[in-house]
Structure 1
Amino acid sequence: MQKAASLPLPPADAQAASDTLTARIGESIDAAGGWIGFDRYMALALYAPGLGYYSGGSAKFGRDARDGSDFITAPELSPFFARTLARQFAPLLAQGLPRLLEFGAGTGRLAADLLLGLEQEGQLPDTYAIVELSGELRARQQDTLARRAPHLAERVTWLDTLPAAFEGVIVGNEVLDAMPVQLYARRGGSWHERGVARAAVPPEGGAPAFRFEDRALAAADVPEALRAIPGEHDLVTETHAEAEGFTRAVGAMLARGAAFFIDYGFPGGEYYHPQRAGGTLMCHYRHHAHPDPFLYPGLQDITAHVNFSGIAHAAVESGLTVAGFASQARFLMNAGITDLLMALDPSDARTFLPQANAVQKLLSEAEMGELFKVIALTRGFDRGLEDSEPLAGFARGDRSHAL
């Protein structure tokens, strides 16, 4: 694991908040008899009220460490990301689905630019709802909308929970990867659940630290996804019960419409490939990626790649149709991102070059283009029956067969 000394130090107030959360996690471990599953640890580190990474006040999203952020997302890179989604969503809204619902709205940049893009497409939604539990993020989203799209801000409402039923278009960008995962280790052919226990307090004192601790599983308790992994080699990997449960909840909620989830990940066959023996768990702090989830609890992002086959199976179980699955690059190109870029004047270098560079990052296999995928889940309409293809983003390069 990467040493804390190789990463930037948090300011004193942030460290104090992390120490408080560390103590609270330690109490949770004690109350559970000295061990908790990694999913419980991850949930506390990310979402403990007022102290977790996503429920606290850290910057999170931004271009570099100088603004106090930890990572950048596609909507922050270029407005053309949202503008392209608007081109995909507009035909759906026109089919009697005039509402939008967003999960994981971050700074609100996607919401603002998506509304502006839909305005240009002549297909504004009647309402744009954001499901957001963090009061700090709600405030940032409201500020972003007031600055970038003040004349459209009144269309946006915030929800604490999923609505009982919804008809319209749903979008979630980098939502699934932030949901807690279970960790498992296979050693000598036997499966163990990898959980978290207290580590010995260092001689110099300080807040309690944590360590991994594996507990053997009976054969009947090994998750089905893991039983299918070929070979007997040692490995560490994840399962995604919470993200799959979330997908089932979306399926129960969506009466008619389409849900689009954009995230980094793989189909199951690639996710559990024998060569991926170390799993996908990763942490982000001040634009440094590292593998230590016990560093600065509450101050760093903890994430895992998405197993899109699990998401697809959960969707089908809840009655949804997997209407498309493609790389982000293929989806954005199909939906017209290059047309949007070419509408700029190439001779205006100050405007054109930064946007061209940002679009390149969205599309490049070496950047976000291949690692990120887009999956569309639908209920209540057939693709391809209208004059304009409802799901043009999957017209070429659809990989649904790989799920």
Structure 2
Amino acid sequence: MSLPEPSPDALEQSGRLVRSIRDAIAHAGGWIPFSRYMELALYAPGLGYYSGGARKFGPGGDFITAPELTPLFGQALAAQVEQVMRASAPAVIEAGAGTGLLAADLLLELERRNYLPDSYAILELSGELRERQFDTLAEKVPQLASRVRWLDALPERFSGALVANEVLDVMPVHLVVSRREGLFERGVAVDDTGTLRWADSPAEGVMAAAANALDLPRPESGEYVSELNLAAPAWVAEWAQRLERGALLLVDYGYPRAEYYLPSRSNGTLLCYYRHHAHGDPFLWPGLNDITAFVDFTSVAEAAYDAGLDVLGYANQAAFLFNCGILDALARRGPHESADYIRAARAVQRLTTPQEMGELFKVLALGKNLPQPLLGFSRGDRLHTL
């Protein structure tokens, strides 16, 4: 596969990040776990993929998320957000708000429903993305932009609806390698030429305990490689300490544990994205590629339950969006023969068909002190698979 060559400025920025990563490896004694490498590649201040200035979302970026496809995604999600707010408090926090389009779509639809939140907060680590979100909101919803504020950290206490669309998949993951002789953690070292390379070390500590609990396939020859996302369960457990009443609505691609660690999935789910090309080399142009891994939703649900949250629902994206009325939102687009309606219908098809995003993406709802079943899981709930 041939990838488009980055600009000289982008390559220079990537080179500075590589030097920073090499320094981190040297400081750690010659080896760092992949989770630390992924953290630096994505979030190193001023140099990482999400903390640098490169365009990430949309046709001119590296990938397209559901809000970039159509506002109908946010309009359907708003029905669930409204229900949660009515049962808790009129407040929304969006984690990792991307370009700000989802925030704009949610606010517009909640305004149409006459149930605007008193506050809409965005939890965003990237200064560059904060600026884009501010500009998007000023352009799309100038009359509502004053309701939005930005957070640097999780709030001490919160009641309302938390929305996290494609957030868990970019949390740093550990790589576990199962071979006949035991379990190893795959990390990153530097060869004699200064090039980043893979290096394995015997699994230890919390990572080893978590890997052993999975009972991973142990091939007679070769190896079985997969991911352990210890950050996502820890993040959810932190929310459990802060949520007083309301729900977390987590949208991402992933599987329940029984499907995640299938023997046939022996190379794991780690993927990199660059200019709408998916590839498997996380050492290619660090800082210029997104690095993601599918979500083990079972581990997230277990962590939530252990921390005191209720697991309220788990469904594929198609079922969730249909339950939340995406077809009604589509019908409001006007005559079926209009170009606008046809474009919107194609976007809905992409969001909901099994071959596209409908099955690959899942929605997990976690909550506290909510009295009623949630709208988005009225049909097609798959809690029994977690």
TM-score per shorter chain, which class? over 0.9
Residue 328 of structure 1: aligned partner: 317
Matched AA of 2:283: F
From the superposition, tell whether residues 238 and 275 of structure 1 become closer, same or farther in structure 2 (CA, over 3 Å): same
Separation in structure 2 between the aligned mates of residue 337 and residue 275 of structure 1, nearest angstrom: 35
Q: What SS does structure 1 have at the residue aligned with 2:87?
A: coil
Shift of 1:349: 2.3
Separation in structure 1 between the aligned mates of residue 168 and residue 232 of structure 2, nearest angstrom: 6
Give CA-to-partner distance per residue, 1:97-141, whole Å, 9 cap, x none: 100001010000000010001011111000000011211111000
Quick check: 1:46–1:301 contact (8 Å CA) kept in 2? yes
Residue 214 of structure 2: aligned partner: 228
Residue 7 of structure 2: aligned partner: 11
From the superposition, tell whether residues 244 and 221 of structure 1 become closer, same or farther in structure 2 (CA, over 3 Å): closer
Shift of 1:275: 1.2
Sequence identity percentage: 51
Shift of 1:192: 0.6
Separation in structure 1 between the aligned mates of residue 252 and residue 336 of structure 2, nearest angstrom: 34
Quick check: 2:17–2:48 contact (8 Å CA) kept in 1? yes
Shift of 1:29: 0.4
Matched, 1:109 2:98: no
Shift of 1:218: 6.2
Matched, 1:286 2:292: no
Quick check: 1:229–1:272 contact (8 Å CA) kept in 2? no
Residue 33 of structure 2: aligned partner: 37
Match 2:174 to one of 182, 187, 203: 182
Quick check: 2:100–2:132 contact (8 Å CA) kept in 1? yes
Matched AA of 1:337: I
From the superposition, tell whether residues 355 and 248 of structure 1 become closer, same or farther in structure 2 (CA, over 3 Å): same
Correspondence list, 1:375-390, <5 A:
375-384=364-373
Separation in structure 2 between the aligned mates of residue 340 and residue 103 of structure 1, nearest angstrom: 24
Once superposed, what is the RMSD of the aligned Cα atoms? 1.4
Shift of 1:95: 2.8
Unaligned runs of 5+ in 1: 202-207, 385-390
Separation in structure 1 between the aligned mates of residue 203 and residue 131 of structure 2, nearest angstrom: 44
Separation in structure 2 between the aligned mates of residue 295 and residue 369 of structure 1, nearest angstrom: 30
Match 1:392 to one of 372, 375, 386: 375
TM-score w.r.t. the length of structure 2 is: 0.96
Give CA-to-partner distance per residue, 1:188-207, whole Å, 9 cap, x none: 25111000001342xxxxxx
Matched AA of 1:43: E
Separation in structure 1 between the aligned mates of residue 52 and residue 267 of structure 2, nearest angstrom: 30
Separation in structure 2 between the aligned mates of residue 93 and residue 35 of structure 1, nearest angstrom: 46
Q: What SS does structure 1 have at the residue aligned with 2:128?
A: helix
Matched, 1:139 2:122: no
Separation in structure 2 between the aligned mates of residue 368 and residue 190 of structure 1, nearest angstrom: 36
Residue 384 of structure 2: aligned partner: 401
Moved more, 268-277 or 227-236: 227-236
Matched AA of 2:385: A
Q: What SS does structure 1 have at the residue aligned with 2:25?
A: helix
Match 1:71 to one of 56, 63, 68: 63
Q: What SS does structure 2 have at the residue aligned with 1:60?
A: coil
> How many residue pairs are counted as aligned between the two chains?
383
Shift of 1:13: 0.6
Residue 43 of structure 2: aligned partner: 47
Separation in structure 2 between the aligned mates of residue 18 and residue 170 of structure 1, nearest angstrom: 33
Matched AA of 1:27: D
From the superposition, tell whether residues 339 and 147 of structure 1 become closer, same or farther in structure 2 (CA, over 3 Å): same
Matched AA of 1:398: D
Shift of 1:367: 0.7
Matched, 1:194 2:153: no
Q: What SS does structure 2 have at the residue aligned with 1:86?
A: helix
Separation in structure 2 between the aligned mates of residue 328 and residue 256 of structure 1, nearest angstrom: 24
Quick check: 2:87–2:371 contact (8 Å CA) kept in 1? no
Correspondence list, 1:350-389, <5 A:
350-384=339-373
Separation in structure 2 between the aligned mates of residue 352 and residue 218 of structure 1, nearest angstrom: 55
Shift of 1:91: 2.2
From the superposition, tell whether residues 40 and 349 of structure 1 become closer, same or farther in structure 2 (CA, over 3 Å): same
Q: What SS does structure 1 have at the residue aligned with 2:312?
A: strand
Residue 235 of structure 2: aligned partner: 246
Match 1:258 to one of 247, 251, 268: 247
Separation in structure 1 between the aligned mates of residue 204 and residue 300 of structure 2, nearest angstrom: 26
From the superposition, tell whether residues 271 and 220 of structure 1 become closer, same or farther in structure 2 (CA, over 3 Å): same
From the superposition, tell whether residues 61 and 192 of structure 1 become closer, same or farther in structure 2 (CA, over 3 Å): same
Quick check: 1:229–1:273 contact (8 Å CA) kept in 2? no
Shift of 1:339: 1.4
Separation in structure 1 between the aligned mates of residue 272 and residue 350 of structure 2, nearest angstrom: 21
Quick check: 2:83–2:375 contact (8 Å CA) kept in 1? no
Match 1:310 to one of 299, 306, 327: 299
Residue 205 of structure 1: aligned partner: none
Quick check: 1:229–1:274 contact (8 Å CA) kept in 2? no
Separation in structure 2 between the aligned mates of residue 230 and residue 129 of structure 1, nearest angstrom: 40
From the superposition, tell whether residues 237 and 377 of structure 1 become closer, same or farther in structure 2 (CA, over 3 Å): same
Shift of 1:244: 1.1
TM-score w.r.t. the length of structure 1 is: 0.92
Shift of 1:231: 4.0
Separation in structure 1 between the aligned mates of residue 4 and residue 266 of structure 2, nearest angstrom: 29
Matched AA of 1:229: D
Matched, 1:159 2:151: yes
